């Protein structure tokens, strides 16, 4: 086998997977999201009581995902249990989202579609989707399945009971 002019074989170079919503570098500090009011400061997105003066203004990755309707997480809940206990399950889901969003502003629910025994919830991040799925499974048992896609850039959470 010919190793070429420099004694090595030619090989294919894998292209780096690109994620439109992943930040390549750091935002200038402070940076304010003009849509939701989250602030990038000390190297992370956070919530602050007051908007900083003279902040750089952008649309954060979570708000861009919502505008593009391009979820990172999809939660699929199927059970007749949802018809009987819908308010209780809905409150659990919203409480989990609120707790995650408080610490990580980019982790949010995008859409919440309810049918009698089938709910679809989309999220801006994979962590909030997983947290919601695990909380539902922990509280109401059933079968939970997690499937990551695109090298863990997206998640599909399925719960059946």
Q: How many CA atoms lie within 13 A of 153 on its CB side?
A: 11
Q: How far is residue 79's CA from residue 141's CA, in Å, rounded to a whole number?
A: 11
Q: What pLDDT does 17 receive?
A: 53
Q: What pLDDT does 151 receive?
A: 80
Q: How far is residue 126's CA from residue 124's CA, in Å, rounded to a whole number?
A: 7
In the predicted model, residues of the chain with pLDDT beneath 70 are 1-20, 22-24
Q: What pLDDT does 109 receive?
A: 98
Domain boundaries, the chain: 31-59, 70-160
Terminal Cα-to-Cα distance of the chain (whole angstroms):
58
* CB of 64 closer than 8 Å to CB of 33: no
Q: What pLDDT does 31 receive?
A: 96
* CB of 124 closer than 8 Å to CB of 71: yes
Q: How do residues 47-80 score in pLDDT, each as one tens digit?
A: 999 988 899 999 999 999 999 999 999 999 999 9
Q: How do residues 87-99 score in pLDDT, each as one tens digit?
A: 999 999 999 999 9
Q: To which residue do tokens 């819908």 refer? A: 86
Topology (CATH level 3) of domain 70-160? Alpha-Beta Plaits (3.30.70)
């Amino acid at each position: 086998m010919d190793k070429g002019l420099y004694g090595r074989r030619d090989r294919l170079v894998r292209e780096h997977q690109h994620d439109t919503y992943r930040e390549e570098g750091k935002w200038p500090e402070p940076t304010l999201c003009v849509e939701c009011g989250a602030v990038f400061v000390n190297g992370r997105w956070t919530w602050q009581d007051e908007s900083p003066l003279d902040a750089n203004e952008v649309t954060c990755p979570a708000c861009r995902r919502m505008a593009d309707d391009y979820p990172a997480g999809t939660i699929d809940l199927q059970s007749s249990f949802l018809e009987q206990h819908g308010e209780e399950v809905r409150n659990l889901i919203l409480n989990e989202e609120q707790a995650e969003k408080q610490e990580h502003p980019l982790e949010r629910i995008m859409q919440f579609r309810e049918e009698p025994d089938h709910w679809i919830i989309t999220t801006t991040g994979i962590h909030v989707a997983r947290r919601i799925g695990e909380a539902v499974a922990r509280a109401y048992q059933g079968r939970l399945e997690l499937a990551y896609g695109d090298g863990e850039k997206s998640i599909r959470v399925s719960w059946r009971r």
